[in-house]
Structure 1
């Protein structure tokens, strides 16, 4: 991976806009007040096929931004599937300095490069805003003798390999790390876990319901209906505080397991964006999240709002990168 930090570090939106006005900058795309605005349709890339989490975020965001009149230009969604996101990231990297091309992102921007499967990593792009997160749930079948997360830990401590745990992502990716990190924090040898990878959370929970595995790790949004219907038991959720969509499910933290994991979702841009361009999009996405339509959609999807501006999002990404390297070392995948 290139690892070159080509982007301009962000500053808070208000400060960036004020500084630009004071400087009397007449850059292309600036309005009469000196603030940058897009001069052509905005393109949001979903680095995957239609229907998945990236596509859902891109289309939900674009629709709300247009319907609420938050942007003067149209917002187009472009799907660039392949390589676990790598094809889409390459497309954005090849459009350095074009502020009209954004992309939606989540933990694979960290995991895929760590696995050596992308020429670009998170440091090659411009963080815009972190928007929302979805926490992981640790599930067992409704008729399982395991009633608590401690029960699962006891089984894993006795013989980690004897307990099969399904996840909807490849070894070394999101679900595996969510399991390994929690197990390690609970005192279990994470390198000995019997993680069974499936192609998506739906397949993982289907295997759980069919009795093919003993437990599963799945996003809250994918597991909510099964939990509410009583088809599975949620032993814990990987948040630091109880989440609104699963108020009766204890967190790992309150159970004494010092580990959190979230499927964060955000927006990034190409390298070499200016501070004024970043400030514009920070403001747009912050306003988007105040819309009732966003709140309704995110609630249905099991998302929790966790807005961060560009600078905080950058720091978050760097912190998570370090954390994931350590976890992957624990399970022998780094």
Structure 2
């Protein structure tokens, strides 16, 4: 049975910067921004990806929830895409080092891109504040595609993988991982994988429509508008069981599954007490009616995680990503 987690090598988990420690919060700090009744006058949410993609959606919905919960008065957004978030992460680390009013969106895609580029030191420039959402990936084709079912796609991959071009997010990211895991599960040479990275699900849809790719992989929320407009046809979803009315890979005979996640980070140079303040603000936002509505509208799974549990989770994800990149022989494209 092939899953991304059973590929973790025995090498030790990578170190992760210290996380918010809520136990240190004291009454003397109770009336700081993020505490009940207090708000940041201004917050920056930095999105290391193009507009319209999954990170952008999460970032903007988080910003709206922060304002709705009274945790922030004004939110400024900035997009800087490239290399699975690495370009934006590098810029954020320099421009917002120690800035207690700046957050950057990230997740498994960024962890994978860091592993692929061997820039683990860069990830130490940020500290995780909270995991926010989980999402499952969908394999989709244009409605005009000869692949009417996933079985059609699987048969083609087993016989002529060189005739199938996948598109999705950045090289080394979660979409790239799933494409490689699929070939491995089908007992097809992973070296034959043809994968064209894009900066968002919207760009992946455009690549399909231009004929530059055969199959696209992205989160359901990024494909939903194209499904509703009958531009794309879903073939399978990466959850263990069917979701969104789509049969899972496992239900269609492929022993693999994968979940994406997204979260929010701050500069590692931000003082611990100010990290705690940011974390309290984010938690307030995730408890708001506005955030619950965002989860429902985008069909995201709320998976808020903070503190030591988040530290352990990300360390495991870093080790997993490094193992998958090595085992599947993923390369920059």
* TM-score in terms of structure 2 length: 0.77
Tell me the equivalent position of 1:317.
314
| Structure number with bigger Rg | 1
Q: What's the RMSD between the two structures over aligned residues?
A: 3.5
Shift in alpha-carbon separation, 1:275–1:240, aligned structure 2, 3 A: farther
CA distance in 2, matches of 1:196, 1:273: 36
Measured after TM superposition, the shift of residue 66 of structure 1 is 1.5
Tell me the equivalent position of 2:221.
221
Any unmatched runs of 5+ in structure 1? none
Please say if 1:113 is aligned against 2:110: no
CA distance in 2, matches of 1:265, 1:120: 20
**Range with greater deviation from structure 2 (262-271 or 45-54):** 45-54
Q: Deviations over 1:126-151 (max 9, x none)?
A: 11111113321112343555444344
Tell me the equivalent position of 1:130.
131
Q: Deviations over 1:156-192 (max 9, x none)?
A: 1223223x13313344334222211232234332221
Tell me the equivalent position of 1:299.
296
Shift in alpha-carbon separation, 1:75–1:177, aligned structure 2, 3 A: same
Tell me the equivalent position of 2:278.
281
Please say if 1:234 is aligned against 2:234: yes
Measured after TM superposition, the shift of residue 113 of structure 1 is 2.5
Tell me the equivalent position of 1:69.
70
Q: Deviations over 1:25-67 (max 9, x none)?
A: x6xxx2469x988876333222345544434333322222123
SS at match of 1:121: helix
SS at match of 1:154: helix
Shift in alpha-carbon separation, 1:256–1:127, aligned structure 2, 3 A: farther
Measured after TM superposition, the shift of residue 297 of structure 1 is 2.9
Measured after TM superposition, the shift of residue 316 of structure 1 is 2.6
Tell me the equivalent position of 2:156.
155
Measured after TM superposition, the shift of residue 306 of structure 1 is 1.8
**Range with greater deviation from structure 2 (249-258 or 128-137):** 249-258
**Paired residues, what number?**
315
Q: Deviations over 1:64-90 (max 9, x none)?
A: 21232134x544334455665334323
Query: Which of 3, 17, 21 in structure 2 is aligned with 1:7?
Result: 17
Any unmatched runs of 5+ in structure 2? 1-12
Measured after TM superposition, the shift of residue 321 of structure 1 is 2.3
Structure ranking higher on relative contact order (CA contacts 8 Å, 6+ apart): 2
Measured after TM superposition, the shift of residue 227 of structure 1 is 3.0
**Range with greater deviation from structure 2 (167-176 or 122-131):** 167-176
